[in-house]
Amino acid sequence: MSDSNNDTSAIDEKKKKDKEKPSINFVSNITSFITFVIGAILIILLYFSSSGVVLFICKLAQSNILPTEANCYPYTSNQPNIEKIKTNIFTDKEMSMKLEIPIDGKNSKYGIIEMFKNYKERSNSHFLANYLISIIENLMQFNYSIINNSMSFLNTLPESVIIGIWPPVILFVYMFSLLLNLVYFIYLWFANMYWFFKTNTNVSGEGKPQWQDVILFSANPLNWIRWWIGFWLVMFSLFGFALLIFVPFITSFYCIFSCLFYRGTLNGKTVSPFSLIKEIIKHYKITIVGLISFFVILSAFSNLGTVAGIFSIITILLIYFGKIGINIFKPIPEINLSPIVSNDQADKTCSFESSKPLAQGFFPAPFGFLNKLFGQKGGNIRKGL
């Protein structure tokens, strides 16, 4: 009797679980559907938002106002002459809006580079600080040149292509630039060692520094001491760059990050890379909604079944053809369009007289500092030959 009751209870329990199972599966499937759709929407919006930032940097590169010239402002006081241009953005056939990114206001402020420049021009400027500054400045100029050239080339492609292919392209350019930065950093570490054999002779406390070569065989005993200091700095620095290997990576990131703080003018309003995101989403509304619709259908089929998938297709088609009063597939009318202009990069010129102290002698860069070690003076032997 007891065994019979136990069997009946087990059967009833099993039937109860079988009834509850479809309900549990339905809730789980709905949760998976919603989670997938929300995730897809966030990824799509993030993708197009970052595309807006990349598009802005492309136009920044075309405007050619990045500090790419080592002998011009902000690295020196020589002001570059940059052609003022307007760039195409949100192109529609032969028409486009116009974005202008001038070199004025906030666009002409370079806090770190200007701080370096001001220090180099101080009367009590020190050779060791100038050595480190020279390395960092050259790395910054190098990185800005990479950004300027690569993004200017990308800017020559159709806008829809820029929006569509930027992730793999930008990732490749960034990884390749990191490798170049590391190689260039090692080169600069040695090439700028001539600073170890320079001394600032300006003791007046006024004006600019006056750099003079430190010579081993000199009547001035201080030069002997300074020369040996330079010698041991070279010896220690041959291995010291391993301790500062993070410098090129930080410099590369800083240069990319600084591009986000430029400002332009679009339709009479000031825009930044971030405010351009809203315009990107508006302009590519149909593409964005189309991608979201695709993932809604895909999720409906995979999580809710064939019937729900077919229903989602029918619903989206009814919305697309205007049978349901939702205007998500209706494009926003374009305004402020004018004939497209050239995508050529703006011309930049800079006349200057270099006052940078150079290491001359038998050994070429990056081993010019060896000329100081062996005491050779005069012109480069290659010129004499």
Give residue 352's pLDDT band: very low, low, confident or very high (50, 70, 90). low
Omega into 22 within 30° of 0, i.e. cis?
A: no
Other CB atoms closer than 10 Å to residue 102's CB: what's the count? Answer: 16
Q: What tokens appear for 207 in the block? A: 């004006």
Q: Are 177 and 248 in contact (CB under 8 A)?
A: no
Q: Are 191 and 141 in contact (CB under 8 A)?
A: no
Nearest Cα residue to 337 out of 267, 259, 287: 267
| Mean pLDDT for the stretch of residues 64-72 | 93
- Calculate the dihedral angle through the C-alpha atoms of 217, 222, 224, 225, rounding to the nearest 10 degrees: -170
Nearest Cα residue to 101 out of 259, 247, 294, 242: 259
Give how far Cα 255 sits from Cα of 76, 163, 264, 302, Å: 18, 22, 18, 44
Nearest Cα residue to 261 out of 372, 106, 100, 59: 106
Is the pLDDT at 369 greater than 80? The verdict is: no
d(CA 289, CA 320): 10
- Express each pLDDT in 4-40 by its tens digit: 555 555 555 555 555 545 556 778 889 999 999 999 9
- Express each pLDDT in 249-269 by its tens digit: 999 999 999 999 999 999 889
Q: What is the DSSP pairing of strand 348-349 with strand 211-213?
A: unpaired
- Express each pLDDT in 114-163 by its tens digit: 999 999 999 999 888 999 899 999 999 999 999 999 999 999 999 988 88
- Express each pLDDT in 316-348 by its tens digit: 999 888 888 788 888 888 788 899 999 999 999
Q: What is the mean pLDDT of the chain?
A: 81
b/e code 361-378 from CB counts within 10 Å (16+ = b): bebeebbbbbbbbeeeee
Look at residue 232 in the predicted model and tell me its pLDDT: 62
Q: What is the DSSP pairing of strand 198-200 with strand 81-82?
A: unpaired
Look at residue 136 in the predicted model and tell me its pLDDT: 94
Q: Are 344 and 73 in contact (CB under 8 A)?
A: no
* Helix 247-258 with 127-155: angle, nearest 10 deg: 50
> What's the predicted TM-score (pTM) here?
0.80
Is the pLDDT at 84 greater than 60? The verdict is: yes
d(CA 329, CA 350): 50
Give residue 375's pLDDT band: very low, low, confident or very high (50, 70, 90). very low
Phi, psi dihedral angles at 97 (to 5 degrees): -80, 165
Is the pLDDT at 381 greater than 90? The verdict is: no
Look at residue 3 in the predicted model and tell me its pLDDT: 52
Nearest Cα residue to 346 out of 83, 71, 24, 42: 83
Nearest Cα residue to 111 out of 152, 71, 140: 140
Nearest Cα residue to 297 out of 36, 50, 101: 36
Look at residue 376 in the predicted model and tell me its pLDDT: 41
Is the pLDDT at 282 greater than 50? The verdict is: yes
Look at residue 374 in the predicted model and tell me its pLDDT: 42
Three-state secondary-structure class, residue 90: strand
Nearest Cα residue to 134 out of 195, 204, 203, 64: 195
